[in-house]
Structure 1
Amino acid sequence: MVALALGVPAWATAPKPALMIVGMPHLANPGRDIANTKVENILTPQRQREIEQLVDRLATFRPTHVAVEWPAGEQAKLDQRYDDYRAGRRTLDSNETDQIGLRLAAKLGLPRVDAVDWNDDAPGKDADYDFPAWLKAHGRGEEWTTYQATAQRQADAEGAFQRCHPLADWVRKFNDKAGLDEMARPYFEIATFGDDANNPGAAWVGAWYARNLRIYDHLLRIGGAPGQRTVAIFGAGHGPMLRSDAVESGRFTLADVVSYLPPLSEAAC
């Protein structure tokens, strides 16, 4: 076993850099999750105004880095995308990387947008993480059916909320305490989808934790020095874990995006 040296690391006594996690719905409707919300078209004039207003709010945090859910190993592609946008050679796509990340960085005059994601294959075989197949093979298929149906009902309710509220309200709902708790809770249920001999649910959740720890490592590398201020724009499901990593590591001061948003508005429909 490797012994850990005792002592106070230099970073522990230095002023902490600031980190704001902005949990977002996937604006481009990729449809890759267990349950998927049909997100409103954000390219309409009204939604574009709402995005500009949100970006204005985030800019008041005065970030020195804008980090996005883009593979860290493909930074060069993101650099080209950002350069093309700033030069007027590119129209923004409907995803949150473009609509929020590129727009915010350009507004602030930042030289780049930082790619900090990691989503390569986890160790082992796909079957090691296939908890739906395990449940069906072990007489527990109804648990998966119930879980998926409940998740889709929640996604449908989210879609109904989004249709009647401005985009800042979407962000508030995903990033307030109730929203964060709701997003964190399903992982504890998925972790029960297995047994002592083989638990693909717990393995899948473990891989999800590991992915977010890799993202945290990337965030620390780009914005971990004193005086740095990073806005990280990610799918909302990452929010609870990235916040936990930032706080429990002791390496960041966590800024609450909700405090930068307008109050929740009345439903328009």
Structure 2
Amino acid sequence: MKTLLLMAALVVGAPAVGATEPNPALMIVGMPHLANPARDIANTKVEDVLSPRRQREIADLVDRLAAFRPNHVAVEWETANQAKLDQRYADYRSGRLKLAADETDQVGLRLAAKLGLPRVDAVDWNQEPPGKDEDYDFVAWMKAHGRGAEWDAFQKSSQDEADAKGAFQRCHPIADWVRNYNDAAGTAQLTTPYYTIATFGDTASNPGAAWVGAWYARNLRIYANLLHVGGAPGDRTIAVFGAGHGPLLRSNAVESSRFTLVDVLRSLPPASTPSC
């Protein structure tokens, strides 16, 4: 134990790696899941982004992000599957691939190709956390402990918010979608529910807190992967991720003091008036 305490003291007292060098720049672009994978607690129904109107809007968004001049584009793709992403990117650049409707293709691959980057970096980690499934199954716990109605109300409220997002998106260009997920109000809306989920348990067993902890751990792994990809002085990275990751990745970047965080809102046009 004394050895561990000494090691901790040495780490705390040591200067940060590269502290005397300028921090690399990082922009987090939190996106709705454009392809409607429906894997979240509440899911926003996104209209077809392959329509001519939405394709023009995505092209404009990519042009605006390109002005940041990143030398890395990182996406929500498992690091273990980098080779598959490399092949997908190569196929797109050679004209053999029609882009899918998801944000990895529509924003990540497009942006990297526009800039002539040699690759798109896979920085996600989404494996099973340690322990048993029931350690994280807060829904089953709530139903087994007489709190099923509380869970139902939480889920309904979350879906109502997602439906409101969908209604907003139908009447606004995609740049406004991005703004809506990355401004202060959007960030608060994304982070607050985790503090409720963390109460879905008791002092003996708290699968809600365990689940939130696993979510935080996943994002710390993504942060570490981003540092591996774009952590050298002078690096400029854009990370295209589902919007729910945005608040934690931005927090990790700032609190670690390893990145200079660049606000994506600076790359967007002024908010538009609704079209419907």
Please give the TM-score of this superposition, normalised by the length of structure 1. 0.99
Other-structure match for 2:56:
49
Return 5+ residue gaps in structure 1 as ranges.
none
What is the rounded CA distance, in whole Å, between the counterparts of 2:35 and 2:25 in structure 1?
Answer: 28
Please tell me whether residue 20 in structure 1 is matched to residue 27 in structure 2: yes
Residue 157 of structure 1 aligns with an amino acid whose one-letter code is: A
Other-structure match for 2:229:
222
Residue 197 of structure 1 aligns with an amino acid whose one-letter code is: A
Please tell me whether residue 38 in structure 1 is matched to residue 53 in structure 2: no
What is the rounded CA distance, in whole Å, between the counterparts of 1:245 and 1:146 in structure 2?
Answer: 31
Residue 164 of structure 2 aligns with an amino acid whose one-letter code is: A
The alpha-carbon deviation at position 12 of structure 1 amounts to 1.3
What is the rounded CA distance, in whole Å, between the counterparts of 1:211 and 1:13 in structure 2?
Answer: 29
The alpha-carbon deviation at position 11 of structure 1 amounts to 1.2
Other-structure match for 2:208:
201
Q: What percent of counterpart residues are identical?
A: 70
Please tell me whether residue 101 in structure 1 is matched to residue 108 in structure 2: yes
What is the rounded CA distance, in whole Å, between the counterparts of 2:232 and 2:39 in structure 1?
Answer: 35
Residue 70 of structure 1 aligns with an amino acid whose one-letter code is: W
Please tell me whether residue 147 in structure 1 is matched to residue 147 in structure 2: no
Please tell me whether residue 157 in structure 1 is matched to residue 138 in structure 2: no
Other-structure match for 2:244:
237
Other-structure match for 2:190:
183
What is the rounded CA distance, in whole Å, between the counterparts of 1:204 and 1:7 in structure 2?
Answer: 33
Please tell me whether residue 66 in structure 1 is matched to residue 73 in structure 2: yes
The alpha-carbon deviation at position 168 of structure 1 amounts to 0.2
Return 5+ residue gaps in structure 2 as ranges.
none
Residue 257 of structure 1 aligns with an amino acid whose one-letter code is: V
Please tell me whether residue 246 in structure 1 is matched to residue 249 in structure 2: no
What is the rounded CA distance, in whole Å, between the counterparts of 1:93 and 1:139 in structure 2?
Answer: 43
What is the rounded CA distance, in whole Å, between the counterparts of 1:220 and 1:251 in structure 2?
Answer: 8
What is the rounded CA distance, in whole Å, between the counterparts of 1:153 and 1:35 in structure 2?
Answer: 8
Residue 195 of structure 1 aligns with an amino acid whose one-letter code is: D
Other-structure match for 1:259:
266
Other-structure match for 2:138:
131
RMSD: 0.7
Counting matched residue pairs gives: 269
Please give the TM-score of this superposition, normalised by the length of structure 2. 0.96
Partner deviation per Cα, 1:114-136 (whole Å, 9 max, x = no partner): 00000000000110000011001
Other-structure match for 1:118:
125
Runs of 4+ aligned residues of structure 1 deviating over 2 Å after TM superposition are: none
- Comparing 143-152 with 5-14, greater Cα deviation is found at 5-14
Residue 164 of structure 1 aligns with an amino acid whose one-letter code is: C
What is the rounded CA distance, in whole Å, between the counterparts of 1:26 and 1:9 in structure 2?
Answer: 35
The alpha-carbon deviation at position 10 of structure 1 amounts to 3.9
